[in-house]
Structure 1
């Protein structure tokens, strides 16, 4: 195995930073166009992710994942509910538990907001072989875990 070139590793970190900033710019401009707060879009992404796994998050789940206080989470959920993007459900045996579900409107609006990005990214990805995509996917998963670890380490110091 060839040793890692520190300059190449640093360049990759800088490219990841540029990717994150470009993603932020997309979310900001899309949010402005659709009059949607960045936190609201992040929350809908989390909610839909939970739904893909067969469940609906609680407000506490959203608070923890999005790093929001309880009052900020409540305000965000109120905004999303007013926009017709979520429903608050009491579907557990314990009726005190509130679950958050994305509405069909949220799915339609999300598709409208992010279809151009998905189309563009699929164009980029299609230039790579299946093996390369698997490697890049593994790297991106590891990179996201690395960011979360750095955040946690920072919180513990």
Structure 2
């Protein structure tokens, strides 16, 4: 039985929308985002893992998030770190002024991690050129195209999260 190779594309598929090309484009985007995160981490005296933890804390505090506070255990699960590594990451982020920890009012045993909004201004300044580049690129697309791109990126993120969870279980 013949199987389709990765380079085989359905009839009528243009090279820019084929699986391999999409894969390369996504890899390039992910690589550039990772390099920017690495550079930001270095500029703050942090590790790349610290930036990933900071992003997880920020996502948990965004409007529309699950409503569950970020905890060291949840962060450990999300980043697949040991408890000791999470403690070290949080210590660095707290020293750098990006997060603070507090005890839950109802259950004093539970520690919650909060993003420090003042630290956001530092990140906003550092990432301002990225935001400007985003605006420049967005201007090249009409609203319908942007909705399609946003839908694609959201679905890819969802599917990759499912795959990550599947591999971890």
Q: TM-score, normalised by structure 2?
A: 0.81
CA gap 1:20/1:4 in 2 versus in 1, 3 angstroms: farther
Decide whether the 8 Å contact of 2:97 with 2:116 is kept in 1: yes
Partner of 2:150: 137
Deviations 1:10-47 (A, max 9, x none): 11111111111111121122222232221111212221
Matches within 5 A, 1:29-68: 29-53=39-63, 56-68=69-81
Unaligned residue ranges in structure 2 (runs of 5+): 1-9
CA gap 1:65/1:83 in 2 versus in 1, 3 angstroms: same
Match of 1:11 among 18, 21, 27: 21
Match of 2:89 among 61, 65, 76: 76
Shift of 1:137: 0.7
Unaligned residue ranges in structure 1 (runs of 5+): none
Decide whether the 8 Å contact of 1:89 with 1:100 is kept in 2: yes
* Distance in 2 separating the partners of 1:85 and 1:99: 14
Shift of 1:152: 3.3
| Greater percentage in helix | 1
Partner of 1:150: 163
Aligned Cα RMSD in Å?
2.2
SS in 2 for 1:94: coil
* Distance in 2 separating the partners of 1:154 and 1:95: 34
Question: Structure 1 stretches (4+) deviating beyond 6 angstroms?
Answer: none
Partner of 2:99: 86
Q: TM-score, normalised by structure 1?
A: 0.86
Shift of 1:88: 0.8
* Distance in 1 separating the partners of 2:81 and 2:95: 19
Partner of 2:7: none
Shift of 1:5: 3.2
Match of 1:20 among 30, 55, 70: 30
